[in-house]
Amino acid sequence: MRSLLAMAAAALLALPAAAETVTVFAAASLKTALDEIAAGYSARMGDDVTVSFAGSSALARQIQAGAPADVFISANTDWMDRLEAEGRIAAGTRSDLLGNSIVLIAHGEVPATDDIAAALAQGRIAMALVEAVPAGIYGKAALTHMGLWDRVQTRVIQADNVRAALAFVALGEAPRGIVYATDAAVEPRVSVLATFPPDSHPPIVYPAALTADAGPEAAAFLDYLKGPEARAVFDRLGFSGPGD
């Protein structure tokens, strides 16, 4: 009997540990990168990574309402600041992960230009929500800095997130749009007309952190996001380092 019990115990110890699931709430502009990174992490570590993509504002509000997220990656510091002030971010886990730039895009193949004002002289302009979603906030700030916002605001089509704004232009529903450079790079149906000067808008920063309710397995994925494998994916897709 003792021998049978010992064999049973040894068999149980030999079983692989059950896979854990890490739930990530991430800004929509990270979709292409995080889909690849999450798949690589799961293959290497065995844990499942589920990523929910949306505008940073919508994701932050879901966390405020108690949504079960382990990791939050915002496309600006403001929404992370709000969650941190409310105690919804695990202390000491926040860091700046990435940077980016915003660009003016057009449907189809259109030559680049140095005259953003002329490129926006007519037609609708797709942008993420300009008062809530980071890409829209950055875009409005840039247009305001350049003295163009009052001239174009009535022609702006606001989308729930930056990938939705990108889709408007890709499908030809708006001839122009303002998105991140990394979004434009993965959509062959649009072309980049111009890049907005970095000093025309607040610095684009993607902070990442564990939520206050994160499981222990989430810390390993957050560390992976800062490591060389993930960094190689981010670099290849055009993201900059924080502060670059």
46 falls within a domain? yes
Domain that holds residue 26: 2-99+205-236
pTM over 0.85: yes
Contact 201, 102 (CB under 8 A): yes
CA distance 138 to 102: 8
Spatial neighbors of 24 by CB under 8 A, at least 6 apart, are 34, 38, 49, 50, 51, 52, 69, 70, 71, 72, 73, 221
In this structure, are 107 and 166 located in the same domain? yes
CA distance 238 to 136: 19
What's the CATH number where 33 sits?
3.40.190.10
Is 56 annotated in a binding site? The answer is: yes
Is 152 annotated as a binding-site member? no
Average pLDDT, the chain: 93
Binning pLDDT at 50, 70 and 90, where does residue 8 land?
very low
Would 241 be classed as within a structural domain?
no
- What is d(CA 12, CA 25) in angstroms, rounded to the nearest whole number? 35
Q: Domains in the chain: how many in total?
A: 2
Residue 39 lies in a domain: yes
224 annotated as a binding-site residue: no
Is the domain of 78 the same as that of 49?
A: yes
pLDDT tens digits for 192-222?
A: 999 999 999 999 999 999 999 998 899 999 9
pLDDT in tens, 24-36: 999 999 999 999 9
pLDDT-derived band at 20, boundaries 50, 70, 90: confident
Residue 9 has pLDDT above 50, yes or no: no
Cα–Cα distance measured from residue 9 to residue 131, given in angstroms and rounded to the nearest whole number: 59
Question: Is 80 found in the same domain as 109?
Answer: no
Q: Residue 207 has what pLDDT? A: 98
Q: Is the pLDDT of residue 1 over 80?
A: no
What residues contact residue 65 under an 8 Å CB cut-off, 6+ apart?
none
Q: What is the pLDDT of residues 36-71, one digit of tens each?
A: 999 999 999 988 999 999 999 999 999 999 999 999
Whether residue 51 contacts residue 24, with contact meaning beta carbons closer than 8 Å, is answered with: yes
**Residue 243: inside a domain:** no
Asked whether residue 41 is marked as a ligand-binding residue, the answer is no
Residues 85 and 30 in one domain: yes
Per-residue pLDDT of 109-151, as tens digits, reads 999 999 999 999 999 999 999 999 999 999 999 999 999 999 9
244 within a domain of the structure (yes/no): no
Q: Are residues 42 and 93 in the same domain?
A: yes
230 and 151 in a common domain: no
Tokens at residue 134, please? 């980071």
Identity (one letter) of the amino acid at 90? A
**242 assigned to some structural domain:** no
Q: Is residue 185 pLDDT above 60, yes or no?
A: yes
Are 147 and 211 found together in one domain? no
132 belongs to an annotated ligand binding site:
no
Residues 144, 88 share a domain: no
Asked if 81 and 142 sit in the same domain, the reply is no
In this structure, are 186 and 163 located in the same domain?
yes
- Nearest Cα to Cα of residue 70 among 205, 222, 207: 222
